[in-house]
Amino acid sequence: MTAIGEVGLPHYARKKDPTAFPLEPYIEVLEQFILLAKKFSKPICLHSIYEDAPIVLSLLEKHNYMHAHFHWFKGNAETIDHLIANGCFVSITPDLLYEQEIQALAAKFPLEQLMVETDGPWPFEGPFSQKETMPSMIHQTVAEIAKIKKISVDIIYRQLLLNTKKFFSI
């Protein structure tokens, strides 16, 4: 076993019908996953965006376990600062090419705490509209990170590979 995940809170389901998905039972289950990750010294990969992220961060802090990856993260500046300070990782997806929010995240987040993913299948927009999600989309994401950070693409590739290996202990 390499990691615990992807686990998190049902943000999109609650957005559609908040009464059908009360948060407390999901928090209790997520806390058990965090405890398992800590018990087995495994990283935890989290689906936790927007207003859910501070809840998850508080659980991680409660259990003093910050070996966490917030997959396809979206959230406010305060939460981003909190993730950075706690040494958490986030992953960037192809929506970087057309979402200003993700461009700002990539600019602010330290390269040493970034990873990339496609999270397919997902109907991306912009240059990926009407295209099936493919791992090769990562190359455009990496090129955009290099442009944003004003660092060569080769350095970005090397650091992202190093980050991934380090995070997953592979």
pLDDT in tens, 59-105: 999 999 999 999 999 999 999 999 999 999 999 999 999 999 999 99
Pairing of strands 44-47, 89-92: unpaired
pLDDT, one tens digit per residue, over 104-145 is 999 999 999 999 999 888 888 999 898 888 899 999 999 999
The pLDDT score that the predictor gives to residue 11 is 84
What's the DSSP call for residue 90? E
Name the band, by pLDDT with cuts 50, 70 and 90, for residue 16.
confident
The pLDDT score that the predictor gives to residue 71 is 95
The pLDDT score that the predictor gives to residue 26 is 94
- Cα 130 from chain centroid (whole Å): 24
Which secondary structure element, helix H or strand E, spans residue 92, and what is its range? strand 89-92
Which secondary structure element, helix H or strand E, spans residue 51, and what is its range? none
Measure the CA–CA gap between 66 and 57, rounded to whole angstroms.
8
Tell me the whole-structure pTM to 2 decimals. 0.94
- List, as one string, the DSSP characters of 106-170: HHHS-GGGEEE---SS----GGGTT----GGGHHHHHHHHHHHHT--HHHHHHHHHHHHHHHHT-
The pLDDT score that the predictor gives to residue 54 is 97
- Domains plus CATH for the chain? 4-168 (3.20.20.140)
The pLDDT score that the predictor gives to residue 139 is 97
The pLDDT score that the predictor gives to residue 19 is 83
The pLDDT score that the predictor gives to residue 47 is 94
Return the amino acid letter for 52: D
The pLDDT score that the predictor gives to residue 123 is 85
The pLDDT score that the predictor gives to residue 146 is 98
